[in-house]
C-alpha cells in the first residue's frame, strides 16, 4: 500500500503539496469515492484512481538510463566520493533510485538506475548472463590469439575462468568487448590477460537496449516502456510491472 500523495507525486503529477491541494479541492477519487485525506493508502495493483477527471495508470516502479560520466561511484551514497545519485535531480531523488549493476569510477556509459529491487536483482543475477557491450581503448598490443582466447573463455589473474566473450578490434588500440557476466573489473582484467591495458571504457548496451547517445555525460532519462519490457523479459522478470 502507498500513500496517495507520495504515489502521485512520484508519478509526476506535482509536488506532495500540489497533491494535497488537489485532495482539498476534491479532485481525487479512489475507487469512485472522493479522497478526503492526502495520507490515504492505495493499492497500486488493484485500486482505481482518478485525478482531475483522468483515470491514472498507477506505477511505483521507475527505471532510468544514465550516461555515466567518469569520476562518479556507482553507489547510492559514499562519505567521501561523489556518486551517480549526486547527478540526479531533487525531484527524481525522491523516487529512491539506486544503480542496478556497476561501472567502475573511471568508466562511462550506460548505467541503469531503478527503485525496483526485483528488477535490479533479476537483471544483475549472475546466472542471468545478460550481455553487456563495451567500447574500449587500450595501451599495448593484444596478442594474436586474443579473439580466440575471448571466445573460449579468458583466464584472468591466472585463476578465474571467464565465460566466453566477444572481442572485435576496431582501429589501433580500440575494440568492442561483449561479456555475458559481471565480474569485478572484468573487461580491464580480460584485456590485461591478452596483453593490453584499458585506458578508457564505455558501456554501450545492456542486452539489446543501447545507450541513448543523445544523453550528455551525466544526463539520464526514464526507460521507455519497450526498453523496460525488453530488459524485464531477458532478466526473467516477465510480469508487467509498469
Which residues of the chain form contacts with ligand URA (CB under 6 A)?
103-104, 107, 185-188, 201
* Residues 123, 129, 132, 137, Cα dihedral to 10°: 130
Mind telling me the catalytic residues?
Answer: 104
Closest approach of ligand URA to the CB of residue 8, in Å:
37
Q: Which residue, 104 or 222, is less far from ligand URA as judged by CB?
A: 104
Closest approach of ligand URA to the CB of residue 9, in Å:
34
Q: Give the closest residue to 103 by CA, choosing from 216, 194, 217.
A: 217
Angle separating helix axes 117-124 and 225-234, nearest 10 degrees? 50
Q: Which residues pair with 155 in a beta bridge?
A: 161
For the chain, the straight-line distance linking the first and the last C-alpha, in angstroms and rounded, comes to 16
SS3 106: coil
Looking at beta carbons, which pairs linking 152-161 to residues 24 or more positions away fall under 8 Å?
Answer: 154/190, 154/193, 154/194, 155/193, 156/183, 156/186, 156/189, 156/190, 156/192, 156/193, 157/189, 157/193
Q: Which residue, 60 or 178, is less far from ligand URA as judged by CB?
A: 178
Closest approach of ligand URA to the CB of residue 187, in Å:
3
- What is the rounded distance in angstroms from the CA atom of residue 194 to the CA atom of residue 133? 18
Q: Which residue, 56 or 200, is less far from ligand URA as judged by CB?
A: 200
Q: Which residue, 8 or 103, is less far from ligand URA as judged by CB?
A: 103
Closest approach of ligand URA to the CB of residue 104, in Å:
4
Q: Which residue, 13 or 75, is less far from ligand URA as judged by CB?
A: 75
Closest approach of ligand URA to the CB of residue 199, in Å:
12
What the block records as the C-alpha cell of 177 is 568487448
Q: Is 215 exposed, middle or buried (0-12, 13-18, 19+ CB in 10 A)?
A: middle
Amino acid at each position: 500500500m502507498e500513500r496517495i500523495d507520495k504515489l502521485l507525486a512520484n508519478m509526476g503529477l506535482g509536488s506532495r503539496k500540489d497533491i494535497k491541494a488537489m485532495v482539498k479541492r476534491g479532485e481525487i477519487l479512489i475507487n469512485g469515492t472522493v479522497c478526503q485525506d492526502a495520507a490515504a493508502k492505495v493499492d497500486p495493483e488493484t485500486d482505481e484512481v482518478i485525478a482531475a477527471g483522468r483515470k491514472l495508470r498507477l506505477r511505483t516502479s521507475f527505471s532510468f538510463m544514465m550516461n555515466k560520466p567518469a569520476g562518479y561511484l556507482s553507489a547510492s551514497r559514499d562519505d567521501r566520493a561523489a556518486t551517480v545519485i549526486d547527478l540526479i535531480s531533487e525531484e527524481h531523488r525522491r523516487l529512491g533510485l539506486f544503480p542496478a549493476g556497476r561501472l567502475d569510477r573511471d568508466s562511462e556509459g550506460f548505467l541503469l538506475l531503478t527503485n525496483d529491487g526485483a528488477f535490479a536483482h533479476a537483471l544483475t543475477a549472475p546466472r542471468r548472463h545478460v550481455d553487456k557491450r563495451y567500447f574500449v581503448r587500450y595501451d599495448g598490443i593484444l596478442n594474436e590469439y586474443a579473439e580466440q582466447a575471448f571466445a573460449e573463455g579468458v583466464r584472468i589473474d591466472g585463476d578465474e575462468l571467464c565465460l566466453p566473450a566477444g572481442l572485435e578490434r576496431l582501429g589501433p588500440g580500440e575494440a568492442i568487448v561483449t561479456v555475458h557476466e559481471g565480474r569485478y573489473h572484468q573487461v580491464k582484467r580480460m584485456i590485461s590477460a591478452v596483453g593490453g591495458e584499458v585506458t578508457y571504457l564505455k558501456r554501450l548496451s545492456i542486452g539489446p537496449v543501447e545507450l541513448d547517445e543523445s544523453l550528455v555525460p551525466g544526463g539520464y532519462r526514464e526507460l521507455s516502456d519497450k526498453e523496460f519490457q525488453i530488459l524485464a523479459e531477458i532478466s526473467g522478470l516477465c510480469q508487467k510491472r509498469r
